[in-house]
Amino acid sequence: MPDTAPPAAALLNAIRAVVGDRGLLTDSADTAAYTEDWRHLYQGRTSAVIRPGTTQELSEVVRLCAASATPIVPQGGNNSMVGGAVPNENGAELILSTARLNRIRDLDPVDMTLTLEAGVTLKAAQTAAAEQNCLLPLSISSEGTAQIGGVLAVNAGGNNTVRYGNARDLVLGLEVVLPDGTIWNGLRRLRKDNTGYCLRQLFVGSEGTLGIITAAVLKLAPQPKEIAVALCGVASPEAALDLFTRFQAHDPASVNAFELMSGTGMSFVLRHIPGAVLPLEDESPFYVLVELATPRPNANLRHVLEHVLEQALAAGTVHDAVIAASEAQRAAIWKLREEHSEAQKREGASIKNDVSVPVSKVPAFIARATAACEALMPGIRVVPFGHMGDGNIHFNLEQPAGAGAAWFLARDHAIMDAVNEVVRAFDGSFSAEHGIGRLKPYMMPDWRGGAELALMQRIKAAIDPAGLMNPGKVLP
Amino acid sequence: MPDTAPPAAALLNAIRAVVGDRGLLTDSADTAAYTEDWRHLYQGRTSAVIRPGTTQELSEVVRLCAASATPIVPQGGNNSMVGGAVPNENGAELILSTARLNRIRDLDPVDMTLTLEAGVTLKAAQTAAAEQNCLLPLSISSEGTAQIGGVLAVNAGGNNTVRYGNARDLVLGLEVVLPDGTIWNGLRRLRKDNTGYCLRQLFVGSEGTLGIITAAVLKLAPQPKEIAVALCGVASPEAALDLFTRFQAHDPASVNAFELMSGTGMSFVLRHIPGAVLPLEDESPFYVLVELATPRPNANLRHVLEHVLEQALAAGTVHDAVIAASEAQRAAIWKLREEHSEAQKREGASIKNDVSVPVSKVPAFIARATAACEALMPGIRVVPFGHMGDGNIHFNLEQPAGAGAAWFLARDHAIMDAVNEVVRAFDGSFSAEHGIGRLKPYMMPDWRGGAELALMQRIKAAIDPAGLMNPGKVLP
């Protein structure tokens, strides 16, 4: 069992001897930013934030913590939506930051592989790839501060999953410091390697509960030569799905993103976000943002967009559509999508559900979940948006106009339960891309209980028998 | 510890009560085909082959075996190259065949998902997908008899890894019977689902040592509208790599296969395979088979091939090339590649190495491994061929002309060691796509020893504490 008393001074001194003064923060002014999650759900405490400069240093720190049964919270960019990277309130947990493990070790443009350390930000990794005419095909809204170690630990998703999969689909190799401090060097750059159990996929998505990812080998893709974006007004999620199948049938390898927005959500963006303008003649019940991209030369993606959209207009699937004619217009269309969360916040209190269902079930899911929420709370405003191309909908709810925020938020569990009941009816997931963290372990027995959760607990016990790695996260 | 005595009659009677007479084979005439691997490396024994008709039946059989500490060897199509699916010689192990779990449960052409049972052959699964205008993008030479359960248990690779990845990259969900007989139903069809550890990727590639895959959800791709194939004569593996980067830079999403062959291997095919004809004017030191395919309409892939090959001819990368003008010509070109193993067998004794290195290292690997083998055995004939696009080379060696087969094969370990030393120098894999099975566990401590093997052993002990699942496979 991990210790619940604050670590002894002797341990911190031993750690300081490994990482030096710059590698150890103990003043609460310095550690404050590490103990609170960015959604302000949790206010943890710690006696120290440790910032090793190398994998070897990190390994030695973990070994010292293991010897004294001191629990560790690994932290990257601290962008978790579910409190996955902050310590609890008793002050016994030390924070182990990967921020200084920030070297790009290798980029091979022939193999299309990028070997880099956990503390490199996703943005810096994207930039390094682009400089070699490659693409790191993962994009999330926190990419400026999200670190690769955290991105992999939570199996980040984002906008391009429809084409490139999630973070785990990009991982060829890992370096991991295990709970006893041992370094596992699995940084292989191979496309085929059937030599025993696939350990890397166990650590990806384990949210720091099995070990600390210190470096990785990622697959890259060729940089696109063309990108084309359209915004389309559609009558319903059914119409959006029809449009999706048209693009998939036409040229699936070029569909980079396929995002759904509701008229309600768009109205919030147009009302609250300075400079936001709808580039269509009329408002619509739903909108689709579709982005095509390809490294092929002379693909004329604008023509492809026009061709598919003309057919969809003729079939009545699409009311109206606009194709970005410039980089500025493309950015303006994306902004309408990306400001959905911010606009919702400005409109009032909201309840968020990061759920997924099979892509073909998205329209039925939205219809049934909307009806369930409206039955529960007349006047509630339903704001579904997100990654329709991969079935991941942020099914968010906004307080009824004029209702009190506190009154609304006090009903969050009832509303989330109503949404989740519909998710379950479609064999969906209650946490599509944000993970479990500290917020949702209580849901695991209900959703993943029985054989599945028992297997996870056996694996946890086998790899981290003392339970020192990110305690209280993922598993109940 | 598993029992080493043959199972008691009481157990077989209890199993018969679950699976019925048609589900239990005990006559040695009936079981013989199950106890020997197709390479004839091992002659195992068993008192019964159990063929359950449903997952529930299979679960009950495993429960009975667990209760009596009877070890189980799961078997699909019995195509293992490494003796992974046959029992040992003591007769204590029962064979559990998935052959009768052969239903396709669901195919959703919008979601592009195929839900099917473990005993469906890969060929039948491909056909089911094609009937719905979808592609199951996995192709291996044993696909006519290989069963999906085995294909996933060994993480099969094959010709299209360069584009679609390996079997594990196609798996969205699994149903698995665990070593105690519990059924884990993880048959989710979701593209995003971050709810705890990724168990499916642990079972994929575990070669039946952690549980028995009884059903799966696979990702499909749209069926190609065009396929184009060329055979090219090149001077060297370096030239082949240059050609690969040209195709990847041009239109990577259409590169379906990129296969390398040596002039030596091709000469064996032309000599021994009836009807084999080289469709080029001159013989060449090496050959490349490149296949492009796309679901895009009007892609004119023949023009793409011509364009890239013209540039490669002008640059001196390619000596000569031919583009298949018909389906018959395409099949004839593929036959030159696919008959390599058969032709080698007819030429004489051979030693096989299924290895991989990073794609960019293939030319240097071939040069150094060739030199190492020739130094060890003057006159040895080096026959490298395989999946250059994913770095997986079958680095095969043929006996020197006139040498005795037995004399040659007696030196197989020395030759394999020499090849593997070069593989290791390039951080490669000693088993790229064939797995470990019973043939290669002894190599694991040397190649994957330390933290990696220790983790695997902990996981094995956590999930199969009695060691009843496919004993003696994968782990030493």
pLDDT tens digits, residue range A187-225? 999 999 999 999 999 999 999 999 999 999 999 999 999
B107, B177, B192, B218: best to mutate for the A interface, most A CBs within 10 A:
B192
Query: If we measure between CA atoms, which residue out of B351, B449, B444, B360 comes closest to residue B399?
Result: B351
Q: What value does the CA radius of gyration of chain A take, rounded to a whole number of Å?
A: 23
For A244, counting Cβ atoms within 10 Å of its Cβ (0-12 exposed, 13-18 middle, 19+ buried), the class is buried
Contacts of B251 in chain A (CB under 8 A): 295-296
B275 to chain A nearest CA, in Å? Answer: 33
Backbone angles phi, psi at A295, to 5 degrees: -85, -5
For B13, counting Cβ atoms within 10 Å of its Cβ (0-12 exposed, 13-18 middle, 19+ buried), the class is exposed
- Give the pLDDT band of residue B260 (cuts 50, 70, 90): very high
pLDDT at B7: 80
Contacts of B177 in chain A (CB under 8 A): none
Partner residue opposite B462 with nearest CB, options A390, A429, A462? A462
Q: Do B191 and A221 touch (CB under 8 A)?
A: no
CB pairs under 8 A between A and B: 261
pLDDT at A437: 98
Q: Do A110 and B359 touch (CB under 8 A)?
A: yes
Q: Do B194 and A154 touch (CB under 8 A)?
A: yes
Give first-to-last CA distance, chain B, whole Å.
15
- Give the pLDDT band of residue A155 (cuts 50, 70, 90): very high
- Residue in chain A nearest B155 by alpha carbon: A194
Q: Do B195 and A249 touch (CB under 8 A)?
A: no
Contacts of A205 in chain B (CB under 8 A): 194, 196-198
Q: Do A435 and B194 touch (CB under 8 A)?
A: yes
B203 to chain A nearest CA, in Å? Answer: 8
Write the single-letter amino acid at A339.
E
- Give the pLDDT band of residue B39 (cuts 50, 70, 90): confident
Q: Do B251 and A192 touch (CB under 8 A)?
A: no
Partner residue opposite B205 with nearest CB, options A178, A197, A436? A197
> What are the CA-CA distances from residue B349 to residues A361, B266, B341, B372, B403 (Å)?
56, 17, 11, 19, 9
**B315-318: which pairs have CB atoms within 8 A and are 24 or more residues apart?**
B315/B242, B317/B234, B317/B239, B317/B242, B317/B243, B317/B246, B318/B232, B318/B233, B318/B234, B318/B239, B318/B243, B318/B288
Angle, helices A9-19/A55-67, rounded to nearest 10 degrees: 170
| Residue B175 to residue B460: CA distance in whole angstroms | 18
DSSP tally for chain A: helices H, then strands E:
17, 19
Contacts of A222 in chain B (CB under 8 A): 248-249, 252
- Pure H helices in B190-326: 199-203, 237-250, 263-272, 301-314
pLDDT at A2: 64
pLDDT at A48: 97
| Residue B6 to residue B234: CA distance in whole angstroms | 57
Which is it for strands B221-222 and B134-135: parallel, antiparallel or unpaired? antiparallel
Q: Do B360 and A192 touch (CB under 8 A)?
A: no
| Residue A266 to residue B251: CA distance in whole angstroms | 36
pLDDT at A252: 86
- Residue in chain A nearest B296 by alpha carbon: A251
| Residue A209 to residue A179: CA distance in whole angstroms | 9
Q: Do A190 and B358 touch (CB under 8 A)?
A: yes
Residue B64 clears pLDDT 60, i.e. is over it: yes
Partner residue opposite A190 with nearest CB, options B112, B165, B356? B356
Q: Do A189 and B154 touch (CB under 8 A)?
A: no
A110 to chain B nearest CA, in Å? Answer: 6
B466 to chain A nearest CA, in Å? Answer: 14
Write the single-letter amino acid at B192.
K
Residue B252 clears pLDDT 90, i.e. is over it: no
pLDDT at B2: 65
Q: Do B184 and A444 touch (CB under 8 A)?
A: no
B84 to chain A nearest CA, in Å? Answer: 12
Please, are residues A390 and A428 in contact by the beta-carbon 8 Å criterion?
Answer: no
Residue B156 clears pLDDT 90, i.e. is over it: yes
| Residue B312 to residue A445: CA distance in whole angstroms | 59
Average pLDDT, stretch A152-180?
A: 97
- Pure H helices in B390-429: 405-409, 412-425
B111 to chain A nearest CA, in Å? Answer: 6
The model carries a pTM of: 0.97
- The single residue listed with the structure tokens 């470990």 is B436
Which tokens belong to A209? 């509960």
A91 to chain B nearest CA, in Å? Answer: 26
Average pLDDT, stretch A44-66?
A: 98
Ordered DSSP codes for B64-116: HHHHTT--EEEESS---SSSTTS--TTS-PEEEE-TT---EEEEETTTTEEEE
Angle, vertex CA B222, rays to CA B221 and CA B223, nearest 5: 115
Residue A1 clears pLDDT 70, i.e. is over it: no
Reported as a single tens digit per residue, the pLDDT across A5-18 is 778 899 999 999 99
B400 to chain A nearest CA, in Å? Answer: 30
| Residue B79 to residue B75: CA distance in whole angstroms | 9
Which tokens belong to B323? 């583009």
* Ranges assigned E (strand) in A121-273: 134-135, 171-177, 183-186, 212-219, 221-222, 226-234, 255-262
Which tokens belong to A163? 């084409």
A27 to chain B nearest CA, in Å? Answer: 34
Reported as a single tens digit per residue, the pLDDT across A427-471 is 999 999 999 999 999 999 999 999 999 999 999 999 999 999 999
Task: Provide the β-strand partners of residue A318.
Answer: A234
Residue B441 neighbours by CB under 8 Å, 6+ apart: B472, B473, B474, B475, B476
Residue A3 clears pLDDT 80, i.e. is over it: no
Please, are residues A189 and B358 in contact by the beta-carbon 8 Å criterion?
Answer: yes
Reported as a single tens digit per residue, the pLDDT across A305-360 is 999 999 999 999 999 999 999 999 999 999 999 999 999 999 999 999 999 999 99
Residue B6 clears pLDDT 90, i.e. is over it: no
- Residue in chain B nearest A161 by alpha carbon: B191
Reported as a single tens digit per residue, the pLDDT across B368-387 is 999 999 999 999 999 999 99
Which tokens belong to A346? 């400005």
The total number of residues written for chain A in this structure: 476
| Residue A388 to residue A356: CA distance in whole angstroms | 9
Reported as a single tens digit per residue, the pLDDT across A92-141 is 999 999 999 999 999 999 999 999 999 999 999 999 999 999 999 999 98
Q: What value does the CA radius of gyration of chain B take, rounded to a whole number of Å?
A: 23
Query: If we measure between CA atoms, which residue out of B60, B70, B67 comes closest to residue B7?
Result: B70
Query: Percent of chain A scored above 70 by pLDDT?
Result: 99
Residue A175 clears pLDDT 90, i.e. is over it: yes
Q: Do B196 and A474 touch (CB under 8 A)?
A: yes
| Residue B434 to residue B356: CA distance in whole angstroms | 11
Partner residue opposite B196 with nearest CB, options A178, A190, A436? A436
| Residue B232 to residue B101: CA distance in whole angstroms | 43
pLDDT at A453: 98
- Pure H helices in B251-395: 263-272, 301-314, 327-338, 340-347, 362-376
Reported as a single tens digit per residue, the pLDDT across B441-456 is 999 999 999 999 999 9
How is chain B split among helix, strand and coil, in percent rounded to 5? 40, 20, 40
Partner residue opposite A429 with nearest CB, options B195, B206, B222? B195
- Residue in chain B nearest A424 by alpha carbon: B188
Report the greatest alpha carbon distance in chain A. 74
| Residue A270 to residue A277: CA distance in whole angstroms | 6
Q: Do A463 and B459 touch (CB under 8 A)?
A: yes
- Give the pLDDT band of residue B161 (cuts 50, 70, 90): very high
Average pLDDT, stretch B342-358?
A: 95
Residue B21 neighbours by CB under 8 Å, 6+ apart: none
| Residue B149 to residue B176: CA distance in whole angstroms | 10
Reported as a single tens digit per residue, the pLDDT across A383-438 is 999 999 999 999 999 999 989 999 999 999 999 999 999 999 999 999 999 999 99
Per the prediction, chain A carries an average pLDDT of 96
Residue A250 clears pLDDT 90, i.e. is over it: no
Per the prediction, chain B carries an average pLDDT of 96
Average pLDDT, stretch B355-366?
A: 98
